[in-house]
Amino acid sequence: MKVKLLVVLLLLICRLSANAQPPKSEVLSFAEFLGYVKKYHPAVRQADLLLSKSETALMMARGGFDPKLEVDFNNKEFKGIDYYSLFNSSFKLPTWYGIEVKAGFDRNEGKYLNPQNRTPDQGLTSLGITVPLAQGLLINQRMADLRIAKIQVEMSKSERQLQAVNVLYDASNAYVNWKRANDEAKLYAQYLSFAEQRGIAINKLIKAGDKAAIDSVEAHIVIKNRQLNVAEAQLKLAKSKLELSNYLWIENIPMELRESIVPEDNLEDAIKLALNFQEALQENGELDRHPKLMAMQQKVEILRIEQKLKRNMLLPKLDLGYHYLSEPNYFNEFQLGNYKFELKFSVPLFLRKERGAMKLAQLKILDGQLDLKLERLQLKNKITAQQTEIKSIQQQIGITTSLVADYDKMLQSEERLFLIGESSVFLLNSRENSLVSTKLSRISLENRFLLSNVDLFRTRANTE
């Protein structure tokens, strides 16, 4: 009787130790982890380079409107004869509507100088303007490049956000999987301890003559299976830690997790807070701000600018230029009759190249608009589907939690029957295996639930 009482106390202590909380470890919170990823991960820093590249491209496009200073000097002398000396300089100022202002100074001399290049002894100054009256007036390549570069800056912001979202998505998945591996390892370790203590209790009952010797074999089989489970769980935990370490950087140094570091328990609230998760989706407002849709819309805007440029190419090229000419000291006496006038006109007879380019630009715009509509619908449906999946998994978690409680009651009842000799080790182990299996199913469902939240974050792509 004393042996049975001792065994009962041993099994009771065993269950209490199995349900007790493990000693506190150092916790790496989800928000802290994502903070390191956002600040130090190379892929996130590479995403910032997209904006820098587009801003550099914008500076290059603005260079098309930079003033330009040109100097051209040619001199020929042979056998003591000064054939010619040509000095031509100009200062050009491009303006927005294709109009170009030009100031120049020429001084040419020589025995064999072309008469049309001859200038006064003091040189010849000029000040004029060139205006495209058809092609190139309302839009030209310089204007198109600058407009496109400005849009590309905004587009790079959207692309940077998408790239950052993908990195945060992968990092969040790694953290969630680490938590699952950690939970499974803790569960298997708990029930290994439970099986070992129960094995000790069964051996005492066998020595007292209350149980058959074969029961010890059954108990040791369970212990060995639990040891295999713990070893496999520890391997998965080690691999998940290494996967998580891919996203842990401080400055430019990759970090590794210490053995004492564990994930936080209440991860659902942490994910919603850290990833800007909202239960209710603002249908139109949120989709309008979606970086992928914004980037696609900006691509369409770029195509529209290119279409305007192609349409402008259908016009004939008609450039008109007027340059006032004067010796340097005559600018104070304006004489309208001293000028140089230019008129340039050209137009292809069939415009096949221009019309083809125009048609191709229209087709590209149509293709981009269709892609945009399709992507908007797919995003909306995908968000709805993921929200439905999250609600369904929540219900399944509730049912599984109820099952865990029921299986736990069944196991406790089976233990009491075992102690009074009305059950067997096989039935006891069967009840415990069902409980462990159900707890593993709950861990799996919790993992799916968290991953579904992370998937919704990637689909919404909201990092603001």
CATH number at residue 441: 1.20.1600.10
Q: What local confidence, expressed as pLDDT, does residue 15 receive?
A: 52
| Whole-number pLDDT of residue 6 | 43
Q: Which range of residues forms the domain containing residue 101?
A: 70-137+321-349
Average of per-residue pLDDT across 98-119? 90
The answer to whether residue 462 scores a pLDDT higher than 90 is no
Do both 156 and 268 map to the same domain? Answer: yes
**Same domain? 397 vs 257:** yes
For residues 10 and 113, membership in a common domain is answered with: no
Q: Are residues 74 and 92 in the same domain?
A: yes
Question: Are 210 and 290 found together in one domain?
Answer: yes
Which tens digit of pLDDT belongs to each residue from 20-51? 444 556 889 999 999 999 888 998 888 888 88
Q: Which residue has the higher pLDDT, 70 or 20?
A: 70
Side chain identity at residue 1, one-letter code:
M
Task: State residue 276's pLDDT score.
Answer: 74
- Is residue 236 within 8 A of residue 179, CB to CB? The reply is no
Q: Could you tell me the pLDDT band of residue 219, with boundaries at 50, 70 and 90? A: confident
- Assign 16 a pLDDT band (cuts: 50, 70, 90): very low
In a shared domain, residues 433 and 372: yes
Residues 162 and 58 in one domain: yes
371 and 291 assigned to the same domain: yes
Taking residues 145-157, report their average pLDDT: 93
Q: Which of 208-217, 230-239, 348-357, 413-422 has maximum average pLDDT?
A: 230-239
- Answer whether residue 453 is part of any domain: yes
The candidate with the shortest Cα–Cα distance to 395, out of 458, 455, 448, is 448
314 φ/ψ angles, rounded to the nearest 5 degrees: -75, -20
Share the mean pLDDT of the chain: 87
SS3 per residue for 302-346 = HHHHHHHHHHHCCCCEEEEEEEEEECHHHCCCCCCCCEEEEEEEE
pLDDT band at 227 (very low <50, low <70, confident <90, very high): very high
Which pLDDT does position 330 carry in this prediction? 57
pLDDT at position 12 is: 45
pTM of the predicted protein model: 0.82
Report the number of distinct structural domains present in the chain: 2
Residues 194 and 242 sit within 8 Å (Cβ to Cβ): no
| CA 32, 36, 38, 43 torsion-angle sign | negative
Residue 191: per-residue pLDDT: 92
φ/ψ (deg, to 5) at 161 = -65, -40
Split at pLDDT 50, 70, 90, the class of 137 is confident
